[in-house]
Chain A
Amino acid sequence: MAVNPAENEFLRPPSDQAYASNLRETSYYNPLDTFKLPTGPERHYQQQYGDMYFLRLAKLKPAVERMAVESWEGFNIAGERARRVDRVLDVRQGELCWVAGTIYMDMPLKPNILTDLTKENFTLAPPPRRTYLDPSQPESTQIMLEDESGRLRLTGSLLRSTQLATGAIVAALGTENANGDFEAIDIKVPDLARQPRRWERDARPPSETGSTSGKIAFVSGLGITGTSSDTLSLSLLTDYLLGYTGSSSSTSSDASRITRLVIAGNSLGASVAVDASENDAVPKKKNPPKKYGYDASAYNPSPITQLDSFLAELLPSIPITLMPGASDPANLAFPQQGIHRAMFPRSRSYCAPPPTGEEKVEPGWFDSVTNPWEGDVEGWRLWGCSGQNVDDVLRYLDFTTDEEGNVNTNGDDESRIRIMEAMLRWRCGVPTAPDTIWSYPFQTDDPFVMQACPHIFFAGNQPRFNTAVIEGDAPFKLNGGDTEMTGTDDTTVGPRVRVLSIPTFRETGELILVDSETLKVEVVKFGTFSGKEDQQ
């Protein structure tokens, strides 16, 4: 049976060999509090959402106008020069001009609170739809450009081939036609924001030249439901991350190089909520005694207990950043705040101490962060979300039928990467909040606008793994197409973003590793071999 020496290591009689302990590489970690909401009485929900659009437009308008000026300055058609118009309502009919504003899309199947009210249809939450488009009447979708003055309907063939979603800030070039619609002939987006250098926020650690580079591990959609069926690949994952799986001789997939695990949402399976609602459906006992807190009949604690022990098993060896997702016990409205440590009786001793006053506490070894989340890992800026942003923008866009007219479902995961690229270029990570993603009504700041372009942009809970590298325009010519991001000469290299769509672990069993020097990606897949026994 012996094929290679590594194989022999475990398939031989025990010996008295002493085992050197394996040391994990250090993780450099510096999260940002971009999406932390104020706590306690400072968190209000009475504000209007309009402020968010106002703030977003105010922040991004200069950027998009700079882009527009660059490319449309002196642009003319038949002797008519394109004129810049400040407000959408100032657009005059028949005049070639360009204007910047927020995209608003009116779609037939989009949840609309006013329609619900007029139909006296007071459902708790609209059922999730695959798409907001109505393929039977494509003309019912209206794309509008709005700013603080008003709205302007956009038309033109360009729109059919352009991906747009509510909340994106664009500049459109064109003329207003006889119907009062704006015939767009070109559209500009703000494009990638300034990308920070590597280690910009941290002191660069002393580079141990001898040491190998670390890796950042990403996983999402663990989907723990508390039943036995879901934990086998989970325990394989645990064994792998703790180093029980790898052989000591092989270095390529050595788990000790993984410096941090990022869990991007949906750690708990969806059935947690279902169980609770099922219990609600049971007719209540007459006059139930008012009981404070834990009620065992309405709550199944085993998923969260299992997640806790999963984390507690890993934490002695690897630091973890945990983001909540749609099915996790966190608030539903974006930005979701971190899962409270009280949920993790075993893991919480690795948390940061509770914040005391104003001074900033050191991030915990186990960091329960927000969703979306932004932070620095190994000097790289990470911007990630548990996937709701991508899922929702996808509902605005029609990817099911491409230009040849054939339905392709495989293109779906490709389109997800393209949506993520579009978000980077819109400089808005969650454009559809607060329109179709529930959101906190921000009053003074729109954190969904990306102030800085990340190095790694990830979205969790996607159907399939996919990755790409997005490049912005370089101020200078690239010297050699395939330069690695070294961090030192970033001034000469335009922004490069590693985009990751992280698959649901429960379905794919995949863990994504990103090399912290080269940002190269690899996949580790866990599973069982369904042999003869299963096929019967």
Chain B
Amino acid sequence: MAIADYKKYLAENVLNDRHTVTYTLLSRALRVHSTLAKQMLYDFHRNENDKKPGSVNATYVLTGVQNPPAPSGANSTHVNGDDKGDDVMQSSPYMSSMPNQDDAASDLVPSTSILLVREEDLEDSKATFQSVSSIFIYSLQATTIQDLNSLTDVSREIASTYAQEDPLECGKQWGMIQNKNVKRRTGTRPPVPAPAPPASSKPIVPSKRPAQDEVKHQVKPELKKENSAETSTRESTPASSKPTEKTAPKREKSNLFSSFAKAKPRQKKEEPVVPAVSGAESAEPSGPEDVVLDDASEEEVEELFPDSGKSASTNTRETRKEREEKLRKMMEDEDEDEEMPDTTEPPEEESKPIDQPPPKPAGLKEEVTVQGGRRRGKRQVTKKKTIKDEEGYLVTVEEPAWESFSEDEPAPLPPKKKPAVSAPKSKPGAKPGQGNIMSFFGKK
């Protein structure tokens, strides 16, 4: 590995800029194994101090067994020995089987200490150890650190600077203990401040999320390409196209994330996505899960990087107003709070293809539309109808009827939509309601 590099790096950072460099920072910056980074720190420390004593100061980490502090060993033995007599279990004959040797052993619990030590205190602290199993340089700095806690600023800096690097990939390089069983789900990466690539025209390659493909289900790249191409062609057409009514696989995408995101990207994104997928469905003969999968993951990418190509005009403003209205309603309506946990289910839901249908309380059939981030639909229910027949009798007939429902928050409809969706009465989640008084009396 570039030996000269680290000298230059350390000279610049430690000597010139008077920064603190820990081995973690060095191994991240130079992309070397942590052991190597420790050795580099040691080498630099020795060389510089040979040239000019006291020019570089170090902190060490000592690992080993410390001498037990004198007082703590004494008190715990006697309590077990003779106080046991007044225990609650005293009467139990088997109490004698409570192994005393184990209590004695509890004093002998092997203890390892990992101590961070200043260079000046190194010999002092070594004296407190029975045996030292390892010692390495934790950090180098130009002068003695007054407050060791300032070292955490370095790790914080590391956390922010190298947040982009996927630990699953780079960990091996740094010397992290690898775990072959690690499970990570696809879905949104943590909100890392990253430059947003323009997502509009070119196919979205998951460059930001390289590890996810290997972790779980595979996203077909070709499909993705085609789908996004579809998206871009559709974008040129006016967005006023009515959302197509769609069936099962699309339903799972209740798109909660978008309802929590800012109104702007949602509005921009939703409309192209819906027709695009339906188009892809018809064009692409492959299984429907692939489409859902693909769509879900792509959508999240778009969410992160809203394409700036689309024009957001009056539509956006309207939605925002609408949303504000919605939020106010949500806050005023206390019962809605109960629903919140459900709604806040994170968006990862989308990344999983689920064939499970949404709750349908009485429905025989249903059709669901996703529109504006909300799930709407119609379902067939049997309704009782009482009519007077020709002889004057009242006859009750059950007949199927279509009823509209919405999964999400009832909201004032966008003006272009038919007024058929009258949400509040058909909200599926029954309100928790007051406890029935009978449940109080009906004790077993």
A residues at B contact (CB < 8 Å): 3-4, 6-7, 9-17, 19, 21-24, 26-27, 39-41, 44, 46-48, 51, 71, 161-164, 186-189, 191, 228-229, 231-232, 235-236, 239-240, 242-248, 250, 252-253, 255-256, 290, 292, 309, 312-313, 315-319, 340-342, 345-346, 348-351, 353-354, 356-357, 364-365, 402-403, 408, 410-411, 413-414, 418, 421-422, 425, 465-474, 478, 481-482, 494, 521-529, 531-533
Contact B155 A235 (CB under 8 A): yes
**B282 to A: closest C-beta gap in Å:** 28
Closest to A259 in B: B179
In chain B, positions 19-51 with a C-beta closer than 8 Å to chain A are: 23-24, 33-36, 38-40, 42-43
In chain B, positions 245-278 with a C-beta closer than 8 Å to chain A are: none
Contact B116 A529 (CB under 8 A): yes
A286 to B92, CA, bound (A): 66
Closest to A70 in B: B93
**A530 to B: closest C-beta gap in Å:** 8
**Proximity bits, B258-302, A CB within 8 Å = 1, else 0:** 000000000000000000000000000000000000000000000
**A424 to B: closest C-beta gap in Å:** 10
In chain B, positions 90-122 with a C-beta closer than 8 Å to chain A are: 90-94, 97-99, 101-103, 106, 109-118, 120-121
One of A3, A10, A47, A191 near B38 (C-beta < 8 A): A10
SS of A interface (majority): loop
Given contacts A7-B135, A40-B341, A41-B430, contact A14 B39 (CB under 8 A): yes
Q: Which residues of B contact A229 (CB under 8 A)?
A: 149
**Proximity bits, B415-444, A CB within 8 Å = 1, else 0:** 000000000000001111111000110010
Contact A525 B111 (CB under 8 A): yes
In chain B, positions 136-184 with a C-beta closer than 8 Å to chain A are: 136-137, 144, 146, 148-153, 155-156, 159, 167-168, 171-172, 174-184
> Which of B323-331, B389-397, B406-414 faces chain A?
B323-331
Q: Which residues of A contact B61 (CB under 8 A)?
A: 236, 245
Q: Which residues of B contact A342 (CB under 8 A)?
A: 344, 346
Contact A524 B132 (CB under 8 A): no
Given contacts A44-B435, A350-B185, A357-B356, contact A9 B134 (CB under 8 A): yes
Closest to A44 in B: B435
- Contact sample, A vs B, 21 pairs, CB 8 Å cutoff: A6-B133, A11-B39, A12-B42, A164-B88, A242-B176, A243-B176, A244-B34, A246-B63, A292-B331, A313-B159, A316-B182, A342-B344, A350-B185, A356-B354, A365-B181, A410-B75, A411-B83, A425-B89, A467-B106, A525-B66, A527-B114
Closest to A3 in B: B132
Contact B346 A247 (CB under 8 A): no
A493 to B434, CA, bound (A): 51
Q: Which residues of B contact A317 (CB under 8 A)?
A: 167, 171, 176-179, 182
Closest to A498 in B: B102
A4 to B132, CA, bound (A): 9
Contact A524 B88 (CB under 8 A): no
A523 to B65, CA, bound (A): 10
Given contacts A14-B39, A529-B121, contact A46 B106 (CB under 8 A): no
One of B137, B144, B149, B177 near A533 (C-beta < 8 A): B144
Indicate if B187 sits at the interface (CB-CB under 8 A): yes
Q: Which residues of B contact A470 (CB under 8 A)?
A: 98
Sort chain B's interface into a size bin.
Answer: 35 or more
A242-B176, A349-B187 given; name 10 further pairs at CB < 8 Å.
Answer: A6-B134, A7-B135, A19-B36, A186-B91, A243-B177, A345-B191, A364-B183, A365-B181, A468-B106, A523-B109
Closest to B344 in A: A342
Q: Which residues of A contact B156 (CB under 8 A)?
A: 228, 231
Q: Which residues of A contact B171 (CB under 8 A)?
A: 242, 316-317
Closest to A192 in B: B94
A363 to B346, CA, bound (A): 17
Indicate if B1 sits at the interface (CB-CB under 8 A): yes
Closest to A470 in B: B98
**A465 to B: closest C-beta gap in Å:** 8
Contact A422 B330 (CB under 8 A): no
Given contacts A228-B150, A245-B114, A353-B352, contact A468 B102 (CB under 8 A): yes
Indicate if B80 sits at the interface (CB-CB under 8 A): yes
**B414 to A: closest C-beta gap in Å:** 21
**Which of A342, A467, A523, A528 gathers the greatest number of chain B CB atoms within 10 Å?**
A528
**A228 to B: closest C-beta gap in Å:** 5
Q: Which residues of A contact B128 (CB under 8 A)?
A: 529
Closest to B88 in A: A163
Contact B432 A41 (CB under 8 A): yes
Contact A10 B137 (CB under 8 A): yes
Q: Which residues of B contact A228 (CB under 8 A)?
A: 149-150, 152-153, 156
